[in-house]
Homo-oligomer: A and B are copies of this chain.
Amino acid sequence: MPSVAEANASAYGPTRTTVTTPNTLTAEEEDKTDRYMRACLYLCIGMIYLRENPLLREPLSTKHLKARLLGHWGSDAGQVFTWIHMNRLIKKYDLNSLFISGPGHGAPAVLSNSYLEGVYSEVYPDITEDVGGMQRFFKQFSFPGGIGSHATPETPGSLHEGGELGYSISHAFGTVFDHPDLISLTMVGDGESETGPLATSWHSTKFLNPVTDGAVLPVLHLNGYKINNPTILARVSHEEIEALFIGYGWKPYFVEGEDLSTMHQAMAATLEQCVTEIKDIQKKARDSGVPFRPRWPMIVLRSPKGWTAPRSVDDHYLEGFWRAHQVPIPDVATNPKHLEVLEKWMRSYEPEKLFTKEGKLIPELKELVPPKPLRLSENPIANAGTRRALHLPDFRKYAFKNITPGVSNLGAMANMACWLRDVVAKNQTNFRLFGPDETESNKLGEVYKAGQKVWMGDYLPEDADGGNLTFNGRVMEMLSEHTVEGWLEGYILSGRYGLLNSYEPFIHIIDSMVGQHCKWIEKALEVEWRNKIPSLNILLTATVWRQDHNGFTHQDPGFLDVVANKSPEVVRIYLPPDGNCLLSVMNHTLASSNYVNVIVADKQDHLQFLEMDEAIAHCTKGLGIWEWASIRPFEEPDVVMAGCGDVVTAEALAATALLHEHLPELNIRFVNVVDLFKLISHEDHPHGLKDKEWKSIFTDDKPIIFNFHSYAWLVHRFTYKRPGAAKHLHVRGYKEKGNIDTPLELAIRNQTDRYTLAMDAIDRLPKLGNRGSMVRQQLKDLQIKAEQEAFENGIDPEYIRKWSWPYAKSKGEVEVLASASGQGEVGFTE
């Protein structure tokens, strides 16, 4: 069988090495580096196979093997190789560096380094640097009650798991924004490189300021294979791969081969070249104070998959082939010949020469570990350890004042943007606003006054005409939800604060990313030494109810369903009904930690309801009876009308007004829900109401007409256990129906409009008898008329203002109370 080098040469010619400085390492340095690498790799293979006899001081037998072999070997060697060559430069240049493992399923590589650096034993005192500790270290890997086979939150020095692939580069950029001294060394798998999110994230350099930000140093690992296929980037010409990265705006350096001695020298020289180039770029920019976009250096590392494993077993390729991806020789427990192969292979690393009698790395190799606190596996940035407080201006000062409930028609989002502007102003180095080219459209443009949009691309004369572009900005916009979400995740995982704003319909693009982040937080809660990280805040607007003009493709409020499936310890969902509630909710969420907060709010002018004091009280409770909007709130209600979401709450209020106009004898209770998880049982989510509280608000025997922002099912799944809900709770929400409509038509078509809701109530009040039927017919006629008007005119800009609310109030029947409501004892739960 041809060697890996011969095989590659047959397709591509000789290996390439861009930097060919001879003897970067002395012979002694090279030898030590090589032995250190072998120590790491020995640990990697040990983790995958052994539960006993960790240093092979007895002949290997099946009883030493784990019963179930798990873990990934394929990328370990390339990752170990990169990590240990960085160690030398950390020591030489006092670097502040993170290691981000894109192929996080090669966790043995990062775990073994963390163990040899001593950090593992510091955070897990049971895993000592001796034979017993090594045994426990091996056994716990991918074992019940132990740790995962990815770079899970238990991994010291890691903030990127790499379970779902595609986010290493965007995470890395998130870590270095506003961390000018940080270099995030980022291994990118060639499998991962095929994903869309990774493919576009290379463009992140167009948003990196060499004066105020640190640097990402990517090592694209042309490992050659995925699970069962070659990778694209490993199978194209040298010309193409070089052009690709020049095209992306990088300066690629190549380190290719399999001969360890040659590779050590090449990697040492190349990595040093990259680090010094980064420092030179930064010095130039910082000395002059003039930012520019350089061609940042990167490394293309081509090394065999499963490097240092046997080239073949039983006439099948292993090293340099996809068979080395996971457990390289899976049948060692049943095939004695293969057990011999494994033993011989493990012994080839010469563990007896690498570890002391006690089982600790020998002192002359231990010297290669960087000193505290520079070890890659202990960098506090990977644990939000450098987090500073976020300064929030008093949101009360931005309140809408003297509003007439249900009549004042104002832009909640644009108003909140004033507060957000001052959040940006007060936190110029640890808060950023992220979005996929929608910040202005989402009425948040006011923030540009405190921080414009970062842009390191070229400039044209028209940029002066309202471009709001700058080198030194605080708003990050790229038309890739994946990239901005990845940046934000990296930014908060490294201890800073941020907010993503996005159109509601397209947030599904990052369903999986948000899900993975939820899992990270939840798992991290169980890891004692993990610090809290700022919450991931997602503000959704351009909501379904205002997507009549963009049509069906832009109507999808279902992100809430995805989020609601995640752990209740982690997820929070808010639907503020108006501007003051939006301010209260935004303040609450930005100040929080370890959550994924989703806020859904309309960006257009809409009706306002609550003064700031009332809003705070209402949001603090999370839901409540609006007495001012109810008809005879202190009497037993005939029906409960409820809204959750801004536009749908306004429709529910209009329905209440219609009912009151036509059926003044009805007692109507009006409820608004801000905090969606209030609806669920308190056994299922810490915010959930107790049944007693539920009953005090919704009753257990009166019809509830509930108008919901999203798909109605979500309310049903939350409330199926509530007393009386099966019989009395009637939910309206969005349904998939493909037509373009005016806003009112959209509501009518989805049966979330005032007329349908009022008719719903009548349908559930048989005591109204014929009178009910007559009113119902009147409402039906009004509905048909409204729809026709909308259709004929093609517009209904006035329809919101035409609402007859507050009908009851104008008749003096209800006094507006100072506080929105007073029942229950629910509080603004964390």
Chain B residues within 8 Å of A480, by CB: 194-196, 199
Knowing that A11-B458, A199-B200 touch, tell me 4 more A-B residue pairs with CB under 8 angstroms: A2-B461, A68-B797, A196-B480, A316-B465
Instruction: Tell me whether A404 is interfacial, beta carbon within 8 Å.
Output: no
- A465/B317 contact (C-beta < 8 A), A143-B794, A248-B244 known: yes
Within 8 A of B (CB), among A435-480: 437-441, 453, 455, 457-463, 465-467, 469, 477-480
Instruction: Tell me whether A717 is interfacial, beta carbon within 8 Å.
Output: yes
Contact assessment for A148 and B551 in the assembled complex, using a CB-CB cutoff below 8 Å: yes
Instruction: Tell me whether A646 is interfacial, beta carbon within 8 Å.
Output: no
Q: Beta-carbon contacts of A712-746 to B below 8 Å, as 1s and 0s?
A: 01101101110001100000000011101110010
Instruction: Tell me whether A66 is interfacial, beta carbon within 8 Å.
Output: yes
Chain B residues within 8 Å of A191, by CB: 437, 479
When C-beta atoms are compared, the residue in chain B nearest to A551 turns out to be B148
* Option from B68, B321, B717 in Cβ contact (under 8 Å) with A795: B68
Chain B residues within 8 Å of A163, by CB: 550-554
* Option from B239, B249, B565 in Cβ contact (under 8 Å) with A246: B239
Chain B residues within 8 Å of A51, by CB: 794
Contact assessment for B195 and A195 in the assembled complex, using a CB-CB cutoff below 8 Å: no
Instruction: Tell me whether A230 is interfacial, beta carbon within 8 Å.
Output: yes
Chain B residues within 8 Å of A469, by CB: 229-230
Residue contacts A-B, CB under 8 angstroms, 14 given: A70-B549, A148-B551, A148-B553, A149-B549, A165-B479, A199-B200, A240-B249, A243-B243, A243-B244, A243-B246, A247-B248, A506-B512, A558-B562, A714-B717
Contact assessment for A713 and B717 in the assembled complex, using a CB-CB cutoff below 8 Å: yes
- A794/B229 contact (C-beta < 8 A), A459-B11, A512-B506 known: no
Q: Beta-carbon contacts of A1-25 to B below 8 Å, as 1s and 0s?
A: 1100001101110000000000000
Bound Cα distance from A459 to B545, whole angstroms: 53
CB proximity of A734 to chain B, nearest CB, Å: 9
Which of A145, A232, A554 gathers the greatest number of chain B CB atoms within 10 Å?
A232
Contact assessment for A508 and B147 in the assembled complex, using a CB-CB cutoff below 8 Å: no
Bound Cα distance from A553 to B160, whole angstroms: 12
Chain B residues within 8 Å of A242, by CB: 247
Chain B residues within 8 Å of A393, by CB: none
* Option from B229, B551, B561, B793 in Cβ contact (under 8 Å) with A561: B561
Contact assessment for B206 and A316 in the assembled complex, using a CB-CB cutoff below 8 Å: no
Bound Cα distance from A148 to B741, whole angstroms: 10
Contact assessment for A230 and B463 in the assembled complex, using a CB-CB cutoff below 8 Å: yes
Pick the 6 closest A-B CB pairs, nearest first.
A244-B247, A163-B553, A196-B196, A235-B457, A726-B726, A199-B200
Bound Cα distance from A333 to B556, whole angstroms: 32
**How extensive is the interface on chain A, given as a class?**
35 or more
Contact assessment for A512 and B519 in the assembled complex, using a CB-CB cutoff below 8 Å: no
Instruction: Tell me whether A366 is interfacial, beta carbon within 8 Å.
Output: no
* Option from B558, B721, B738 in Cβ contact (under 8 Å) with A523: B738
Chain B residues within 8 Å of A721, by CB: 726
Bound Cα distance from A74 to B121, whole angstroms: 60
CB proximity of A125 to chain B, nearest CB, Å: 21
Bound Cα distance from A478 to B196, whole angstroms: 11
Bound Cα distance from A191 to B479, whole angstroms: 6
Which of A152, A240, A437 gathers the greatest number of chain B CB atoms within 10 Å?
A437
Q: Beta-carbon contacts of A501-535 to B below 8 Å, as 1s and 0s?
A: 00001101101100110110011001000000000
Contact assessment for B508 and A562 in the assembled complex, using a CB-CB cutoff below 8 Å: yes
| Chain copies in the assembled complex | 2
CB proximity of A126 to chain B, nearest CB, Å: 17
Q: Beta-carbon contacts of A193-215 to B below 8 Å, as 1s and 0s?
A: 01111111101001000000000
Within 8 A of B (CB), among A217-235: 226-232, 235
CB proximity of A2 to chain B, nearest CB, Å: 5
Contact assessment for A460 and B551 in the assembled complex, using a CB-CB cutoff below 8 Å: no
* Option from B161, B247, B467, B740 in Cβ contact (under 8 Å) with A553: B161
Chain B residues within 8 Å of A232, by CB: 203, 206, 457, 478
Contact assessment for A482 and B229 in the assembled complex, using a CB-CB cutoff below 8 Å: no
Contact assessment for A146 and B740 in the assembled complex, using a CB-CB cutoff below 8 Å: yes
Bound Cα distance from A68 to B437, whole angstroms: 24
Contact assessment for A236 and B194 in the assembled complex, using a CB-CB cutoff below 8 Å: no
Chain B residues within 8 Å of A105, by CB: 550
CB proximity of A646 to chain B, nearest CB, Å: 21
CB proximity of A239 to chain B, nearest CB, Å: 7
Bound Cα distance from A463 to B199, whole angstroms: 26
Contact assessment for A790 and B144 in the assembled complex, using a CB-CB cutoff below 8 Å: yes
Chain B residues within 8 Å of A736, by CB: 518-519, 522, 565-567
Bound Cα distance from A199 to B194, whole angstroms: 10
Instruction: Tell me whether A398 is interfacial, beta carbon within 8 Å.
Output: no
Instruction: Tell me whether A828 is interfacial, beta carbon within 8 Å.
Output: no
Contact assessment for B7 and A461 in the assembled complex, using a CB-CB cutoff below 8 Å: yes
Chain B residues within 8 Å of A505, by CB: 164
Bound Cα distance from A248 to B236, whole angstroms: 9
When C-beta atoms are compared, the residue in chain B nearest to A72 turns out to be B550
Chain B residues within 8 Å of A148, by CB: 550-553, 740
Instruction: Tell me whether A791 is interfacial, beta carbon within 8 Å.
Output: yes
Instruction: Tell me whether A142 is interfacial, beta carbon within 8 Å.
Output: yes
Contact assessment for B196 and A201 in the assembled complex, using a CB-CB cutoff below 8 Å: yes
Contact assessment for A247 and B245 in the assembled complex, using a CB-CB cutoff below 8 Å: yes
CB proximity of A677 to chain B, nearest CB, Å: 13
CB proximity of A531 to chain B, nearest CB, Å: 18
Bound Cα distance from A152 to B481, whole angstroms: 23
Instruction: Tell me whether A591 is interfacial, beta carbon within 8 Å.
Output: no
Chain B residues within 8 Å of A462, by CB: 7, 317, 320-321
When C-beta atoms are compared, the residue in chain B nearest to A142 turns out to be B549
Bound Cα distance from A458 to B164, whole angstroms: 27
Q: Beta-carbon contacts of A388-410 to B below 8 Å, as 1s and 0s?
A: 00000000000000000000000
Contact assessment for A438 and B235 in the assembled complex, using a CB-CB cutoff below 8 Å: no
When C-beta atoms are compared, the residue in chain B nearest to A197 turns out to be B196
Bound Cα distance from A714 to B794, whole angstroms: 38
Instruction: Tell me whether A711 is interfacial, beta carbon within 8 Å.
Output: yes
Bound Cα distance from A719 to B716, whole angstroms: 9
Contact assessment for B248 and A479 in the assembled complex, using a CB-CB cutoff below 8 Å: no
Instruction: Tell me whether A621 is interfacial, beta carbon within 8 Å.
Output: no
Instruction: Tell me whether A241 is interfacial, beta carbon within 8 Å.
Output: yes
Instruction: Tell me whether A182 is interfacial, beta carbon within 8 Å.
Output: no
When C-beta atoms are compared, the residue in chain B nearest to A793 turns out to be B67
